[in-house]
Amino acid sequence: MKGKFFLKTFGCQMNLNDSERIRGILKELGFSETQDWKEADLILLNTCTVREKPDQKVLSHLGEYRKNERAVIGVCGCLAQRMGEELLKRAPFVKLMFSSYNIHHLPELINRAFAGYRAVEILNEPPEDENELWNYKTVRDNRFCAYVTVIKGCDKFCTYCVVPYTRGRERSRPLESILEEVKYLVDDGVKEIHLLGQNVTAWGKDLGSKHRFSDLLYEVSKVEGVERIRFTTGHPKDITEDVIEAMATLPKICNALHLPFQAGSNRILKLMKREYTKEEYLEKVSLLKERVKGIALSTDVIVGFPTETEEDFEETLEVLREVEFEQVFSFKFSPRPGTPAYSMEGQVPEEVKRSRMARLLELQKSIYSKLSKKYEGQVVEVLVEERKGEEYVGRTTTNKWVSLKSSKDLLGKTVKVKVKKASPFSLEGELI
Ligand code: SAH
Ligand code: SF4
Ligand code: F3S
């Protein structure tokens, strides 16, 4: 028994999945988890640095946590990878540091840190033994839905993005290792498998010609006990015919896709190095809507990329109007040190970003309320994930939260629900 750990996670689903594995390792080492940093012996922050805001959050949290003088304070994840030594200069009380490259070295690093030494290992490249990470089990909050990371890193180098620098080049996880984890999860009661990667559709490219992402979808689909499959994030360029075909024909694949378009103007898309035009993106959307009936699309948008004019921004709104996404994650452009867009001329003033963002949100509000209306009266299939008293909540395959009341035990079951009330991100219904 080594004591208690407190783990705080920022950032994307990949980071959440990394944290689940960190939990698994720490529990194996004999730690137990606490939700109160004041009583922790180990405080660990799994960080994100995709925009400036998460950076600031990490630093302000560290300032708070250092008041627990007894604890070993550690930082891991993307900010640790990006800042390395510089972060240690700003927070010299940090004794433990690693990144998503070397989570599997944690047992050794922990021993060093608890023996009173500095345990800092920030590598320039992922180590050779990286696949050892998969030997560790995750500890999850959700009993029925689980993330499975299938590819790490990103080769796209969009000009605004730090991810290729913090997570390195694309490395696909071997098929056998993925299937082994999927089978383990199913045995553990999981019904829904969520395949993860910053650029998940690139899976297999580095594994030889026989592996395409669509092949992985078929393989996971074959695993008995898997009821639903999701995947995040697909790059529009890599959502190829074969992936659409798999989505259209495999009943286990959820009727939802997160497909970031970032900007509507071709000039801006080119500056971003997104490798598609607005027209190509819209064409892909049409194909998806045609082949995968009722598909729910969601997206990411950046507002105020350098040199973005009023006309450019109008084109972004045009795409939103045309596609009618069920969910839009919009971000004000945040210049990231080390990326090409950081030093581009024509940075857009903060007030302009803010007002464009407000207009975008206003437009989305009306689209959301229009779209949610279509659910009223519909019968949807819900995988029930949680119980809160008499109330159950779960999701549709289109990724909408649904609440319903029942006196039966519905946890982990997929049930049919008639929707009585629909608001933009959640539905209320009755069991039928
Ligand atoms: N791999 C995913 C997303 C990675 S980051 C993809 O390619 O779609 C998640 C989102 O953060 C991005 O889609 C983008 O919209 C946003 N983002 C990334 N860097 C940003 C920056 N410098 N400023 C503002 N938003 C950014
Ligand atoms: Fe970043 Fe682009 Fe890679 Fe997404 S595809 S992680 S936005 S570089
Ligand atoms: Fe953030 Fe790293 Fe994910 S920068 S968005 S935690 S890949």
Predicted pLDDT at 92: 93
Minimal-distance CA residue to ligand 2 atom 2: 158
Ligand 2 midpoint to CA 49 (Å): 13
What's the whole-number mean pLDDT along residues 48-66? 91
- d(Cα 212, Cα 210) in Å, to the nearest integer? 7
Predicted pLDDT at 297: 97
In short, whether 234's Cβ falls inside 6 Å of ligand 2 is: no
166 half-sphere exposure, CB direction, 13 A CA radius = 30
Predicted pLDDT at 210: 75
H helices present in 4-51, as ranges: 13-28
Q: Within the chain, what is the greatest distance between any pair of CA atoms?
A: 62
What token pair was written down for 268? 């801006």
Q: Which ligand is nearest to the CA of 198?
A: 1
Residues listed for the chain: 432
Predicted pLDDT at 346: 97
What's the whole-number mean pLDDT along residues 202-223? 92
Q: Which residues line ligand 3 (CB under 6 A)?
A: 11-12, 14-15, 48-50, 77-78, 162-163, 166-167, 198
Examine the pLDDT at 34 and tell me if it is beyond 90. Answer: yes
Q: Quick one: CA torsion of 121, 73, 198, 323, rounded to 10 degrees?
A: -160
Pairing of strands 391-395, 401-405: antiparallel
What's the whole-number mean pLDDT along residues 322-345? 97
In short, whether 168's Cβ falls inside 6 Å of ligand 2 is: no
The helix or strand, by DSSP H or E, that contains position 316, with its residue range, turns out to be helix 310-323
- d(Cα 271, Cα 160) in Å, to the nearest integer? 9
What's the whole-number mean pLDDT along residues 25-48? 97
In short, whether 198's Cβ falls inside 6 Å of ligand 2 is: yes
Confidence of residue 389 (pLDDT cuts 50, 70, 90): confident
Confidence of residue 44 (pLDDT cuts 50, 70, 90): very high
In short, whether 154's Cβ falls inside 6 Å of ligand 2 is: yes
Predicted pLDDT at 329: 97
Q: What is the pLDDT of residues 262-296, one digit of tens each?
A: 999 999 999 999 999 999 999 999 999 999 999 99
Q: Which ligand is nearest to the CA of 154?
A: 2
Which domains does the chain carry? 3-121 (3.40.50.12160), 379-431 (2.40.50.140)
Q: What is the pLDDT of residues 97-155, one digit of tens each?
A: 999 999 999 999 999 999 999 999 999 999 999 999 999 999 999 999 999 999 999 99
Predicted pLDDT at 1: 54
Examine the pLDDT at 422 and tell me if it is beyond 90. Answer: yes
